[in-house]
Amino acid sequence: MKSESLRAILGTDVLRSIPVSGGDINDAYKLNLSDGRQIFMKANRSVGLSFFQAEAEGLEAIRATGTIGTPKVIAVDKDQQHGAFLLLEWVEAAPKVYGFWETFGRSLARMHQAPASRFGWEKDNYIGASPQINTPHDNWIAFYRDCRLSPQFERAQHYFDPSMWKRITRLLDHLEDHLVEPPHPSLLHGDLWSGNFITGNDGQAWLIDPAVYVGHAEADLAMTELFGGFHPDFYSAYREVNPLQPGYEQRRDLYNLYHLLNHLNLFGGGYLSAVLRILNRYS
């Protein structure tokens, strides 16, 4: 892979570029460099530079809490050959350490306890391939209505008939009947399912592919349960460090409605039945 932009960033030549799995959105490569280093590269010709800048900023925000591992960000740039790209340290997964899931749960709970300010984020970013609005709010329920559910419902409005749209409006107007304000704002990963953590070179869980914002910790925890859930030891250890407010189980599906709506908008009607089940429960 001959690339003057990569040489300028890395200070050496790329000897070999090996395609690796990197999700459905981007091309991903392991770069073997002439100085012996290995680098992970994600590239996409269809997105702007802001797409990978948002990911890099999210990784750095998580890393700054000092609570859980993330790959180190090397650079975000673009060139004619690759389009926009993100360079990260190459993580060679080690065997999971003893107590992997318990440590993961405690680490995430501590991340959620790290100091954070207003709900939202300093700029908009992305949830998968979708834009994610992060306009700062002082109230969590208002933020979740205005910046999470409402934009996704508007994008998906062609799926709903007038009677269902009335129920959606009623739900949005009365979210306070179902959700609660958190004891404090928390930095969230924002898209925390099993595909968005890896085993790091220390044998511990590391977070990848964030969609960060400041919100209610319950929203992150709910996402971990959407597609099968994590090991039970993860949840018990999490609750030891950061106990949940009463009634979390009754709120969980309403948090996951955001992700199901996003999947509906990205991937089509196969997710509609799951969305309707939640709407029928809460509206």
How far, rounded to the nearest angstrom, does the alpha carbon of residue 76 sit from its chain's CA centroid?
A: 18
Count of C-beta atoms within a 10 Å radius of residue 166: 12
Active site residue 191: yes
Count of C-beta atoms within a 10 Å radius of residue 153: 23
Give the β-pairing of 73-79 and 83-89.
antiparallel
Q: For residue 73, which of 257, 231, 208, 269 has the smallest C-alpha distance?
A: 208
DSSP-derived 3-state class of residue 54: helix
Which of 138, 191, 202, 253 is an active site residue? Answer: 191
Q: How far apart are CA 259 and CA 85, in angstroms?
A: 25
Question: For the range 268-274, what are the long-range contacts, defined as Cβ-Cβ under 8 Å and sequence gap of 24 or more?
Answer: 269/159, 272/159
Residue 177 CB partners (closer than 8 Å, separation 6+): none
Lookup result for tokens 């010709």:
45
| Positions marked catalytic | 191
